[in-house]
Amino acid sequence: MMLAPIRILGIDPGLRNTGWGVIEAHASRLAFVACGRICSDAATTIAVRLRQLHEGLARVIEDYAPHEAAVEETFVNRDPQSALKLGQARGVALSVSALAGLKVEEYAANLVKKTIVGNGHADKAQIAMMVRVLLPLSAANSADAADALAVALCHAQHRGAGALARA
């Protein structure tokens, strides 16, 4: 019996730019589907910016029909205001995915980096390079899109091990 491929949406949430990446996992084979980023308009209110992220992610889900979503848990050591805004963007990513009926998992940034690069403290350039190695056809033209693809790849590796991801 052959299992159908699983389409995974990876999301790297941010209020200014939310990266997204879609891959297909079929057994141990991984294939690039699409990626990009959703930009909110900094000249508008927070409510409008969150709506922009919501509408953009809903369009991605409608266009690419993923089966599951993976969202990066973000670690912020800056000011509380930045952490709050980032948390709101994460909330949009989680709720849009859940409202679409997707199974949603969250992954710590260090686990994503360790899974993709082998080092939990890898920088964005290392992540982008390994994403290109693992998904040679990927067209990630921003760090946000590359990070989102890394989140999707991490989920493909750890699917069904949600407890491990939160450890």
Asked if pLDDT for residue 4 goes beyond 90, the answer is no
- pLDDT tens by residue, 48-80: 999 999 999 999 999 999 999 999 997 666 678
> pTM of this prediction?
0.91
Antiparallel, parallel or unpaired: β 17-26 and 29-39: antiparallel
Asked if pLDDT for residue 164 goes beyond 50, the answer is no
- The domain 6-165 is placed in CATH, from the list 3.30.420.10, 3.30.70.1380, 3.40.50.300, 3.40.50.150, at 3.30.420.10
Active site (annotated) includes residue 72: yes
Active site (annotated) includes residue 12: yes
Asked if pLDDT for residue 123 goes beyond 90, the answer is no
Catalytic residue among 24, 68, 144, 147: 144
How many Å apart are CA 47 and CA 40, to the nearest integer? 11
Q: Residue 76 carries which DSSP code?
A: -
Catalytic residue among 12, 24, 105, 147: 12
Grade residue 165 by pLDDT with cuts at 50, 70 and 90.
very low
- pLDDT tens by residue, 14-37: 999 999 999 999 888 999 999 999
Catalytic residue among 24, 72, 105, 106: 72
Q: What's the rounded mean pLDDT across residues 113-128?
A: 88
How many Å apart are CA 10 and CA 64, to the nearest integer? 12
pLDDT over 90 percentage in the chain: 72
The residue extents of the domains of the chain are 6-165
Q: Distances in Å between the alpha carbon of 102 and those of 46, 82, 99?
A: 26, 28, 7
How many Å apart are CA 117 and CA 132, to the nearest integer? 12
Q: What's the rounded mean pLDDT across residues 38-54?
A: 97
